[in-house]
């Protein structure tokens, strides 16, 4: 499963990358507004980070018309090259833009997906990723994980090489369930990365190890037993 961090703050991205094996980071227009005032200086830093770590960067177009989306995608592609995935919204103009972008060799993610049928047409149009918003789907009385399961099956049945990139999570359990239905990728917050590995029993066991060690060996470390 691919893991992305859903944030534009570079220090947070670097912190997550230091601890966890990430495949890149994802942004959207709202996420980028949090970096208002420094986006211009961040743009080259994002590229450096992508090159040095060999990871993907996701940027969403802000245009409304397909041709304008293509222009933005081409500009982003010229700058970020192979590291770029362009996010196109699952609206009519976005669907048109998928094939325009694919014709230019641009990697595409159709985003803000809330239904299986939206995902299906995106895959058929040639999208490399679709990004369903799991919690939003849950909030409208459907089941985000089931929707992803159906997307994965439909892509397999249709022979579409499109990955499902789950987005918008509220619980670690949603991610656990997605992993069992063949979801290929998720994008999550830095806090969610920490939640994925948090376990009270692990903490309790660690405390037990620490206590026993200290009582027996004091300040000595395990590596101190190795001869010089």
In the set 3, 16, 24, 28, which binds ligand G3P (CB under 6 A)?
28
- Asked if 187 is part of the footprint of ligand G3P (rule: CB under 6 A), the reply reads yes
- Asked if 118 is part of the footprint of ligand G3P (rule: CB under 6 A), the reply reads no
Q: Which of residues 131-150 bind ligand G3P (CB under 6 A)?
A: 133, 135
Give the integer Cα–Cα distance in Å for 192 and 124: 32
| Strands, E assignment, the chain | 2-6, 24-26, 56-60, 84-89, 108-113, 129-132, 163-166, 185-188
Q: Which is nearer to ligand G3P, 80 or 133 (CB)?
A: 133
87 catalytic? Reply is yes
Residue of 30, 87, 124, 214 marked active site: 87
Beta bridge partners of 108: 86
Give the integer Cα–Cα distance in Å for 81 and 56: 10
- Using DSSP, state whether 99 is helix, strand or coil: helix
Q: Which is nearer to ligand G3P, 20 or 213 (CB)?
A: 20
* Region of 25-33, 78-86, 143-151, 208-216 interacting with ligand G3P (CB under 6 A): 25-33
- Asked if 6 is part of the footprint of ligand G3P (rule: CB under 6 A), the reply reads yes
| Axis-axis angle for helices 10-19, 39-53 (nearest 10) | 20
By annotation, the residues acting in catalysis are 87
Binding residues for ligand G3P, rule: CB under 6 A, are: 6, 26, 28, 31, 133, 135, 167-168, 187
């Amino acid at each position: 499963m691919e893991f992305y961090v859903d944030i534009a703050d570079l220090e947070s991205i670097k912190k997550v990358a230091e601890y966890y094996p990430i495949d890149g980071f994802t942004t959207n227009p709202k996420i980028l507004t949090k970096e208002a005032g420094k986006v211009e200086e961040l743009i080259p830093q994002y590229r450096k980070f992508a090159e040095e770590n060999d990871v993907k960067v996701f940027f969403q177009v802000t245009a409304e018309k397909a041709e304008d989306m293509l222009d933005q995608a081409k500009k982003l592609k010229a700058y970020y090259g192979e590291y770029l995935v362009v996010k196109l919204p699952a609206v009519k103009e976005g669907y048109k833009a998928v094939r325009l972008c694919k014709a230019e060799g641009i990697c595409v993610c159709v985003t803000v997906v809330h239904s299986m049928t939206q995902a299906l047409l995106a895959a058929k149009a040639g999208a490399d990723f679709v990004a369903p918003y799991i919690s939003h789907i849950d909030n409208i009385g459907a089941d985000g994980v089931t929707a992803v399961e159906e997307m994965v099956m439909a892509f397999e049945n249709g022979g579409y090489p499109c990955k499902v990139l789950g987005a918008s999570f509220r619980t670690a359990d949603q991610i656990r369930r997605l992993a069992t239905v063949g979801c290929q990728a998720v994008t999550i917050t830095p806090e969610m990365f920490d939640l994925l590995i948090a376990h009270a029993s692990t903490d309790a066991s660690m405390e037990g190890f620490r206590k026993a060690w200290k009582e027996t060996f004091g300040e000595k470390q395990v590596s101190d037993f190795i001869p010089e």
